[in-house]
Amino acid sequence: MKVSLFSSLVSVFGLLFLTAQDGRINLQSQPNIIVILADDLGYADVGFNGCRDIPTPNIDKIASQGVKFTEAYVSYPVCGPSRAGLITGRYQDRFGFGRNPLFAPNDVEMGLPLSEETLADALKKSDYKTIALGKWHLGAHESLRPNNRGFDEFFGFLSGGHSYFPEEWTLSNEYEVKAQFDPYRTKLLRNNERIEEHDYLTDALSREAVAYIDQYRSEPFFIYLAYNAPHTPLQATQQYLDRFNHIEDTKRKTYAAMVSAMDDGIGLVLDQLEKLGLKENTIIYFLSDNGGPEYHNASDNGILRGGKSDLFEGGIRVPFAMMWPKKIKPNSVYDNPIIALDIFATSIAQSKQPIKTLNTIDGVNLIPYLNGDIKTAPHNYFFWRKFDHNQFAVRHTDGYKLINAKSNQKLFNLSTNISEDNTSAEVNTQLQKELLKHYNNWNNELMNPTFLGLGSDDEYNALNPNRFIKPNED
């Protein structure tokens, strides 16, 4: 009998090992983590936020099989600083990333400082495989690139944007670049090697994500899937354009096609997780890096005022959904405000061992709030600063928001005035003073920007005449 029982146990454990190796069952105690970041997506351009003319069934599946956040923010209203905040879990002004970086492959200062730890750096302490796909925009200098910032694998581009059609990728490397927006035409990178690619950019990124899930299915992985879509240039293949003949506006039609291509790719990612038995223990976050620039790409921020680059809600409040079937109930809705900085804290809190971070982070672990263990709101205050424009905003979790734009301070109660209509602005001197006090306390902890940004291209060129010249390697 003992022999029989022993044999049975050996058979069971052998089967579990084989199926784990085959990828059909995930024995990892640590969840896989996938951050899916859209670029310049409008708040009202996903189904779970009420979009009617662009179907997003796969993005919506993340919300329906997990949680939709109704008041989710990013830490800055344009992409570079917003991404720096997300990837470090820290307000980016703490380390001088207060501007959108220029493309400067010779400048070690133009990007995410080496003093900062990325989410990939942190997760590697707990044996994660780490992959970055798509847009980087955190520095083009060799020392600032993904493979030197905690990522085992990289497939994508370094600049703040990129053309979508491979026939336009005519520049062989960063030193064929002659001006700020030339990198849109560079060949893609696989790790540190320029490659030939033949697929539409969004499709290529989705393909790579699916392949990496298969490659690392037997160990915990972190995939940072940073789509370029629907950032300009507005470019889509006929396959996707044909889906939107009902949209008469040409710009909106192309935008819709680009969002649809991204949604298809997210569907492939979800299908791969399901196929390999990884879905139950994989955390997926979906969000945009900032609000939609409605005029430029025909995005729609709905009832929110403003858009990309604004400190009004349209610039900083974004569509945000998260799923983790193992821990989050489907069709959940979370109404307390959160911020993209929470992704870092939430992710490292699920590791098999405590991860000691290099720097103090500003985000919090959302899981106890989502499962009801903690009833209070995750944050009391949120802050934003646009250093060069002397603009700032601060909001309390109760909905009151003070915004200073061009030395004109306005107080809004977002609970009753989500559109930040000036005619419904609040008058409460004492509350304004209180919010301003908290902002000033936060502001005193910050650094001035450490590099020139997009608005200073000519000034930077004058100071750095060898900006695009390859350094002598002798």
Of 399, 389, 379, residue with least CA distance to 442: 379
Residue 79 falls in the annotated catalytic set? yes
272 & 329 share domain: yes
- CA dist 255 and 39 (Å) reads 12
Residue 389 falls in the annotated catalytic set? no
240 & 143 share domain: yes
Which of 331, 357, 379 is the endpoint of a domain? 379
Of 64, 49, 48, 69, residue with least CA distance to 330: 64
- CA dist 156 and 225 (Å) reads 10
Residues 6+ apart with CB under 8 A from 250: none
Exposure pattern of 10-23 as b/e (b: 16+ CB <10 Å)?
eeeeeeeeeebeeb
282-288 and 153-157 as β-strands: parallel, antiparallel, unpaired?
unpaired
Token pair in block for residue 32: 């896989």
* Residue 88 within a domain: yes
pLDDT reported for residue 123:
98
Given a contact cutoff of 8 angstroms between Cβ atoms, the answer to whether 393 and 402 are in contact is: yes
291 & 432 share domain: no
* Residue 68 within a domain: yes
Q: Which of these is catalytic: 51, 79, 141, 162?
A: 79
- CA dist 88 and 342 (Å) reads 10
345 & 388 share domain: no
- CA dist 427 and 71 (Å) reads 23
Token pair in block for residue 448: 């001035």
* Residue 51 within a domain: yes
Cis peptide before 233 (omega within 30 of 0): yes
Count up the domains in the chain and report the number: 2
Please give the average pLDDT of every successive group of 10 residues along the chain, which has 474 residues: 43 41 54 98 98 98 98 98 98 98 98 98 98 98 98 98 98 96 98 97 98 97 98 98 97 98 98 98 98 98 98 98 98 98 98 93 98 97 97 97 89 97 93 97 98 97 96 70
Model's pTM, two decimal places?
A: 0.94
pLDDT reported for residue 472:
81
Helix, strand, or coil (residue 261): helix
pLDDT reported for residue 195:
98
416 & 346 share domain: no
Residues 6+ apart with CB under 8 A from 327: 367, 370, 371
Q: What is the DSSP letter of 432?
A: H
- CA dist 261 and 346 (Å) reads 29
* Residue 421 within a domain: yes
* Residue 71 within a domain: yes
Q: Which of these is catalytic: 51, 137, 162, 396?
A: 137
- CA dist 30 and 128 (Å) reads 9
332 & 370 share domain: yes
Domain that holds residue 411: 382-443
Exposure pattern of 86-110 as b/e (b: 16+ CB <10 Å)?
bbbbbbbbbbbbbbbbbbbbbbeeb
Residue 431: give its domain's CATH number: 3.30.1120
pLDDT reported for residue 473:
60
Amino acid at 445: E
pLDDT reported for residue 405:
82
348 & 413 share domain: no
271 & 393 share domain: no
Of 365, 223, 355, residue with least CA distance to 284: 223
254 & 351 share domain: yes
222 & 159 share domain: yes
